[in-house]
Structure 1
Amino acid sequence: MSGDVWFTVLPDGESGVTAARLLRPWATAAIPHHSGRPWLLGSWPDGHVTVGAAGARRVAVIGRCPVTVEALSERAGRLRDIGDVERIAHGLTGSFHLLASVDGSVRARGSASGVRRLFHARVGGVAVAADRADRLAAVIGAAPDEQLLAAHLLASPLPYPLDDRCVWQGVQAVPSFDCLLIDTDGQARTQPWWTPPEPQRAWQEGVPAVRSALTAAVDTCTADGGTVSADLSGGLDSTSLCFLAARAQERTRPPGAKLVTLRWQSLDPENDDAAWAVRAAARLPDSEHIVPAADQWPFWYGDLASLTGDAVPTDEPGPWVRDGARMAELCRLMTVRGSRLHLMGGGGDELFSTFPPHLHDYVRRHPLAAWSRIRTQRTSQHWPLGQLLRQLADRKTFGQWLTAWAEGLIAPQSPSTALVRSAPPTAWGVDLRMPPWATGDAAEAVRDLLREAAATAEPLAPERGQHTALACVRTGGRGLRQLDQVTSRRGLGLAAPYLDDQVIEAALAIRVAERSTPGRYKPVLAEAVRGIAPDDVLRRNTKGEYSTDFHVSLRHHRSALVELFDGSRLARAGLIDDAAVRASLLGVHPTPEGLRSLSSSLGSEIWLRARPAPTCLTSPATTEGAPCA
């Protein structure tokens, strides 16, 4: 099925019937509560929604999960009340939304990573939830929130703790770790449904759980049979998924099973991804391997004009537009070969690497082991000792760090900084800066958001290493969510099994410092797939680098990028100086760091241009649910 895939969740009361009338013009499918009143409205392909029923109890799984109607109905029969949903759902695998309707109460949640999200708004006077914010925005006539658009210049997807904010006025995002409860009167509230695991397992003890969870996650991708496709970049993340998918198809032999892999070639002759991908492909003889020639695979920033001429497929801005032409070609190459789902390695770095902030924790817990690791890494990467010691001595709380980040948003970066070796940041996160083309008003708007967050936000975990891993998982999940909206519109769903909840829980239960060790690359993942992926493929300890692709793509599309910012919508909103953008694009950039924010700004600009303008003005009536034409 091509086209937007979406659903809305309605309360089980007469007020929900009124909201349904407003939503029905957009919907092509509906599922009722036990009462007969509408519960789910939307548009989705066959097999995307599974509903189990037992008396007045309804449980729905929406997304990738191989549970049958009969099995889900059996689980619904064990449901005591609305608060019992997670217990009866225990053991479900995949990536999905979980919904329940019990005795008039409604419960809905997405996934911990943010791959599956929920939003809610008042429609026809009652709370209505949806998996796409723009569907709710359309029915209430909402406009984009310029303060949140300013934050998308900083980074997109938004970094924690701004990532649970919605870019549409009047539409609220349900926090990833929370579920939404709606009563019969259409009143909504949230409560936690997921708690991150404590990282207490030794890595050897954690490997079996990772292997089991990852195997089950990939099995959900192949369970329906037919052709599935996967990236085979040569990196350990995508390579492991390809061997897991091939093994799942061989073990279960679903009808018509076939694996197609895709590798695009870097423009850098020193990038060794290709050599490792060729080695892996040779060990997958029953799969079809697609390798477009360099002149057949689009550069970054290609065909941007086509994105402004059609309704943009994502419900919020995102940096995916840099890869828009590539995503279109991916869909064409895979769907013509019959693929219904494409696997990507997103999430592997987040789960099976350690980020520098873990050193701040490690040096306090195990100082001798930490200093040994620091000495080894400092020698190989030439970290300045004084700078590193100052960072390790920092004792800021999460709130204090947020405040300091807010105050340094527009601190200029020395032009030579990117060329000088520096110690990796060990704070609660990266102190991102507003791009040099952001206006003072945009910077002040983001500063206000961070100051507000600093007053109440808590870290995702007590220590910096686990907090950083969780924050990166959320960023990766929301990035994948956007890519899936892009490709699903063209008939190809995306899956990132590393970002499935059960895989996240297994991986993040391992002690942070043990997820990687000097001299071994991603040891937990390598051991988890040992015996599934060949040993010679698992010996890789390098990672591809793509600066050359950036420089070539920028040179090839520079004039189109400069032209795109003429008459900028962001400039019209007072968020950027379009002349400053053009000056940066025409400048010299020895490394990609100088244009780090380009993809986020470009994504916001195209998203604004492609939004269909509402034909009614925002008013109390539209806020209550009168749809715009």
Structure 2
Amino acid sequence: MRWSAGWYGGAQPGRRPAGSRTVPGLETTWTSHWPQARVRSVHDDRTTLAVVGQCGADDDHLRDALPLVRAERWRALTRWPGSHLLIAHSGRTTAVIGDLAGQHPVYYRTDATGTWWATAASALAALDGAPVDATALAAHLALGQPDVLAARSLFRDVHRVPGGHLLLLGPDGARVERYEPVSYRPVPLREQAAVVRAALAEAVAARLDDRPVSADLAGLDSTTLACLAAQQTPVTAVTFADERLRDDDLVFAALTAAAVPGITHHPVPGTPDTVYYAGLDDLSALPVTDAPNAYTVTASIKRAVLDTVAANTPSAGVHFTGAAGDAVLSSSSAYLSDLLRERQHRRAWRHAFGHARLRHTSVFTVLARTRPASRTDLAGTWWQTAAELRRPVREWIPQAQRPAAWTPLLASADWMTQGARLMLSAALDEAAGALTEAPARLADWTVRQDLARVGADTAGWQALALAGHGIELAAPFLDNEVIRACLAVPADERGAPGSYKPLLASAFARSDVLPPFVLNRTTKGGFNALAYAGLRQAAPVLRDLLGPSSQLAALGLVTQEPIAATLARAAAGQSTAQGALHLVVAAEVWLRQHTATTTPWWEEANTHVASA
């Protein structure tokens, strides 16, 4: 796994990351398993700036930014295309800045002699064998929003730097500061469309060099990236085309490849093994990741796609995916709660009518689902959720039928022991009481949490692509500037029911990037058929995984009866809590891997390896 770490303190540390390189100009900062081309730094007598990862700035750009470091204009350093970690040092101050989506997260732990920081919480836990934080893991499973228990990582005594914040290290110790505003100044969609197009074009161009380029060619988001890349270099495009999906991704992909010069298209046929949960009887075949990730569940599908890429490219290259496109380009109907809160009743009614027509329901049903969230705020929701956790578990209904909420309580919360629920309830009460920087709009909070979740999952997919194929995965919709450009457009414009992804359509209308039929598309593929097929096929493996030997069960985070009922519903073809089950399975796999795998995170200064 690729990771970075650093030390700030009076004495020299007695260890360093195993197999690491020192970052030039930063004596106690290291990278492990990162290629040398992805680690760059510039410095003068008192100031150093380093980037780790894919960064669109060349060395001259970095050198020109040294005055920004000296002036501590941290946010100005985060405007380059690409996805990367920044380490800025000036005088006696060091700033460690991750990306907005959490592909380069920052964690730290402090003792009397100084502070260790790293992009892998597991590595910091391995310094002294810190155990998993059961409360933080409960929040991960029951709430699915990384910033609820913002400063807690999944390991005890390892602190997390929340999204939009940086770690500042100095003589007075370590502190966390916000560098990104809670919400952006709203810009009308038509005015912002050109900015979105430019940000996406720069994000794609930043990844293009002499490596082979491949891309998913499926929905509108991935198709946009493939077409942008094809303007500059040949693209090997792939479409997962399992006949059980019954969607039109393959039809649109073939039409796009025929219309866009530079794209060569290869369908990826499904097999009996390309379903959710395949391969979980052999966890050693999955790469160890720093956190649970959703691609544990879909690894066989992703491998099939990457196998096709590898078979049709001369060497390992960069592969574009449209991950997070849904989050930044559109919005769920939960933004209606914001319109109601702001007393924009006429606009709320008009939008609710449009959403009702799309969902073949009544406008009153839509408004009834969104109204409760308009009458509370983020802290109020957490107090309400804490109270709900202290009550008996709920009867299961699909999440989409529950009222919209700032922090929805997932079905997995109802699978926990009462002790675990009370433990999480107390943590939520504490978090609500300490909350100081809450957004005013539900849509702003929700999209940031969606991005943090997708970013963490994508990091797991990147590990899968690197470990199995040596392929670099690129997710430009998670770049800082793309996020900022898209989220400046209000949610009620991004998610307006009258058109499909109007921001992207406006950004690329009358351009030569996308064929018109792509922008006019209103359909989107889904993987439900493969999810249910996988649940039926893998039911014995899942019953064993989440059975008496389950590590989640040992922590009180799952109980047998509801898990068995959920699997039985799936085997019978009935609707079930798929999202919650995915979270639980991924977490169980992660726990088992960390228990079974001895990862050499650190080595002594004399290069003696110290294993976790």
TM-score by length of 1: 0.87
1:569 pairs with one of 521, 539, 551: 551
Taking the aligned partners of 1:80 and 1:431, their CA distance within structure 2 comes to 41
The 5 A counterparts of 1:352-367 are 352-363=329-340, 364-367=342-345
Query: Which stretch of structure 1 is more off in the superposition, 468-477 or 538-547?
Result: 468-477
Which of residues 164, 172, 184 is equivalent to 1:198?
184
Task: In structure 1, give the amino acid aligned to 2:188.
Answer: A
**Alignment-derived partner of residue 545 in structure 1:** 526
8 Å CA contact 2:286–2:296 kept in 1: the answer is no
Look up the match of 2:215: 230
Tell me, yes or no, if structure 1 residue 291 matches structure 2 residue 267. yes
Matches within 5 A, 1:63-462: 63-76=53-66, 78-79=67-68, 81=70, 83-87=72-76, 89=77, 91-122=79-110, 125-156=113-144, 158-162=145-149, 164-183=151-170, 187-222=173-208, 224-233=209-218, 235-249=219-233, 258-268=234-244, 270-295=246-271, 298-307=274-283, 309=284, 312-336=287-311, 337=313, 338-363=315-340, 364-384=342-362, 386-390=364-368, 391-392=370-371, 394-409=374-389, 412-414=393-395, 417-418=397-398, 422=401, 425-458=403-436, 460-462=438-440
Q: C-alpha offsets along residues 93-136 of structure 1, whole Å, 9 cap, x if unaligned?
A: 21111111212321111011222210112378320111111111
Q: Distance in 2 between matches of 1:528 and 1:7?
A: 36
Contact 2:193 2:506 in 1 (8 A): yes
Residue pair 1:198, 1:508 contacting (<8 A) in 2 also? yes
Q: Deviations over 1:355-390 (max 9, x none)?
A: 222112224453223212222322342445555444
> Aligned partners of 2:87 and 2:192: how far apart in 1?
30
CA contact (8 A) 2:100 2:163 kept: yes
Q: Secondary structure at the match of 2:126?
A: helix
Quickly say closer, same or farther: Cα 1:164–1:475, change in 2 above 3 A.
Answer: farther
Counterpart in 1 of 2:593? 610
Q: Is the 8 A contact 1:313 1:489 kept in 2?
A: no
Q: What do the CA deviations read for 1:574-628 (whole angstroms, capped 9, x no partner)?
A: 3322354234323355555334311111112111111146999xxxxxxxxx955
User: Could you tell me whether the CA contact under 8 Å between 1:357 and 1:428 is conserved in 2?
Assistant: no
Task: Indicate how the Cα distance of structure 1 residues 82 and 327 shifts in structure 2: closer, same or farther if over 3 A, else same.
Answer: farther
Q: Partners in 2 of 1:209 and 1:193 — Cα distance? A: 21
Q: Which position in structure 1 is the counterpart of 2:603?
A: none
What one-letter code is carried by the residue in structure 2 that aligns with 1:54?
D
Change (3 A) 1:438 1:85: closer
Q: 2:569 aligns with which of 563, 583, 587?
A: 587
Does residue 1:49 correspond to 2:29, yes or no? no
Paired residues of 1:356 and 1:425 also in contact (CA < 8 A): no
Give the Cα–Cα distance (whole angstroms) in 2 for the partners of residues 365 and 539 of structure 1.
33
Q: Distance in 2 between matches of 1:383 and 1:577?
A: 36
Question: Which AA in structure 2 matches 1:195?
Answer: P
SS state at 2:5 partner: strand
Aligned residue pairs: how many? 592
CA distance, structure 1, for counterparts of residue 54 and residue 122 of structure 2 = 22
Q: Distance in 1 between matches of 2:111 and 2:165?
A: 21
Q: Given that residues 352 and 366 in structure 2 are in contact (C-alpha distance below 8 angstroms), is that contact kept between their aligned partners in structure 1? A: no
8 Å contact from structure 1 (residues 357, 425) kept in 2 = no
Map of 1:525 onto structure 2: 504
Cα deviation per residue 1:25-56 (whole Å; 9 max; x = unaligned)?
A: x133112546xx33334331121111112222
Pairwise CA distance, 1:306 = 2.4
Which residue is 2:456 aligned to? 478
Conserved in 1, the CA contact under 8 Å of 2:147 and 2:163?
A: no
Aligned residue number for residue 20 of structure 2: 28
Matched AA of 1:22: R
- Displacement of 1:80 after TM fit? 6.2
Contact in 1 for aligned 2:294/2:586 (Cα 8 Å): yes
Q: Helix, strand or coil for the counterpart of 2:278?
A: coil
Give the superposition deviation at 1:522.
0.6
Aligned AA (1:31): V
Alignment counterpart, residue 600 of structure 1, candidates 565, 575, 583: 583
Uncovered stretches (5+) of structure 1, i.e. residues with no partner: 250-257, 617-625
**Do the aligned partners of 1:487 and 1:494 also contact (CA within 8 Å) in 2?**
yes
1:628, 1:184 → 2: CA distance?
31
Letter of the structure 1 residue corresponding to residue 203 of structure 2? A
Q: How far has the Cα of 1:69 moved from its partner?
A: 2.6
SS of 2:254 mapped into structure 1: helix
Q: Tell me which amino acid in the other structure corresponds to 1:540.
A: R
Give the 3-state SS of the residue equivalent to 1:587 in structure 2. helix
Which residue of structure 2 aligns with residue 557 of structure 1? 538
TM-fit CA distance, 1:173 = 0.7
CA positional deviation for 1:220: 1.0
Of 350-359 and 511-520, deviating more is: 511-520
- Structure 1 residues 537-585: Cα deviation after superposition (integer angstroms, max 9, x where no partner): 1110122233222221212222222233342222233332235423432
Rate the CA distance shift 1:328–1:122 in 2: closer, same or farther, 3 A. farther
Aligned to 2:606: none
- Distance in 2, matches of 1:305 and 1:169, equals 29
How big is each residue's C-alpha offset from its partner over 1:211-247, in whole Å with a ceiling of 9 and x where there is no partner? 111111111121x2221221112x1111111111111
**Secondary structure of residue in 2 paired with 1:602:** helix
Unaligned runs of 5+ in 2: 600-608
Matches of 2:160 and 2:135, distance apart in 1:
15
Which letter maps to 1:57? T
Q: Contact between 2:110 and 2:174, CA under 8 Å: does it hold in 1? A: no
Flag the 1:106–1:204 CA change in 2: closer, same or farther, 3 A: same
The Cα shift of 1:182 comes to 1.4
Displacement, 1:335? 4.0
What displacement does 1:533 show? 0.5
Q: Tell me how far 1:292 sits from its aligned partner.
A: 2.0
